[in-house]
């Protein structure tokens, strides 16, 4: 089951990488998939951690998408046409919205994975309140 989830998470990260760069050599995309796959296989111990890392990568890719788009649309002139400015604005709004969503989602998955990784013996026993007896001061 861990292998299937690892393959699916690699697919998610590779599709996000491919969507950012658009026309890029397939060798680079396959190389990115191998790097992500090796990282997930070595670093993630559970299915929750696999998806936590995959959604974190997706959030970082979503954050990088508007920056890459601005670099790609940069032309020889100092001003951009109005259509390209609208494209950049849409990319910034959607990229930031989706990056915040995916990064916060991965944060929740990391909290869940780290909470369940701790053995039960390390937890504190429940505290019971013992009423203190009131002592009268004698003078």
pLDDT, residue 38, reads: 93
Span between the terminal Cα atoms of the chain, in Å: 74
Average pLDDT over residues 36-59: 92
Q: What pLDDT sits at residue 119?
A: 56
Tens digit of each residue's pLDDT (9 = 90 or more) over 98-123: 999 999 999 999 999 888 655 544 55
- The CA distance from 67 to 43, in Å, is 28
> The pTM is what?
0.74
**What is the spatial distance between Cα 38 and Cα 32, in angstroms, rounded to a whole number?**
10
């Amino acid at each position: 089951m861990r292998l299937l989830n690892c393959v699916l998470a690699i697919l998610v990260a590779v599709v996000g990488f491919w969507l950012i760069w658009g026309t890029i050599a397939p060798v680079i995309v396959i190389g990115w998939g191998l790097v992500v796959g090796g990282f997930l296989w070595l670093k993630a111990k559970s299915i929750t951690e696999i998806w936590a890392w995959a959604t974190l990568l997706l959030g970082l890719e979503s954050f990088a998408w508007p920056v890459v788009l601005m670099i790609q649309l940069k032309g020889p002139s100092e001003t951009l046409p109005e259509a390209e400015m609208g494209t950049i604005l849409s990319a910034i709004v959607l990229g930031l919205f989706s990056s915040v969503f995916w990064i916060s989602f991965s944060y929740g998955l990391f909290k869940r994975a780290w909470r369940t990784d701790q053995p039960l013996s390390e937890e504190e026993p429940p505290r019971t309140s013992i009423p203190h007896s009131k002592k009268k001061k004698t003078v």
